[in-house]
Amino acid sequence: SQQGEEDPQALSIQEGENATMNCSYKTSINNLQWYRQNSGRGLVHLILIRSNEREKHSGRLRVTLDTSKKSSSLLITASRAADTASYFCATADPFPNDYKLSFGAGTTVTVRA
């Protein structure tokens, strides 16, 4: 199965700044999801964007999807110390393999006070 690749691997920003990270994948997808993981803990779902959607918002989060470029971006606006975490994209292949979710290696975000 395919695996998304996040870029950059690590990101350090000042509190209040925006953070942008990207995810690229190899084959067509059914949907793409973003998750957050605080150090060593379970992943928490942030946003799911379907292949026929181009942009989605949730609070300070904005996700875009460009299926022609096979890429997605996650923007966190007005970052806070609590946003310090690793962020993962996950892709679901189209039917009939849409029961499998493949994760990338993640982007580690550090928000400095």
Partner 1 sequence: EAQVTQNPRYLITVTGKKLTVTCSQNMNHEYMSWYRQDPGLGLRQIYYSMNVEVTDKGDVPEGYKVSRKEKRNFPLILESPSPNQTSLYFCASSFWGGAHNEQFFGPGTRLTVL
Out of 11, 104, 109, 111, the residue judged to bind partner 1 by CB under 8 A: 104
CA atoms 91, 37, 6, 72: torsion sign: positive
* 108 near partner 1 (CB under 8 A): no
Q: Are 38 and 25 in contact (CB under 8 A)?
A: no
CA atoms 72, 78, 82, 85: torsion sign: positive
User: Pairing relation of β-strands 61-66 and 71-76?
Assistant: antiparallel
* 88 near partner 1 (CB under 8 A): yes
Binding track, positions 11-50, relative to partner 1; x by CB under 8 A = -------------------xx-x-x----xxxxxx--x--
Which residues of this protein are in contact with partner 1, per CB under 8 A?
1, 3, 30-31, 33, 35, 40-45, 48, 88, 90, 92-93, 98-106
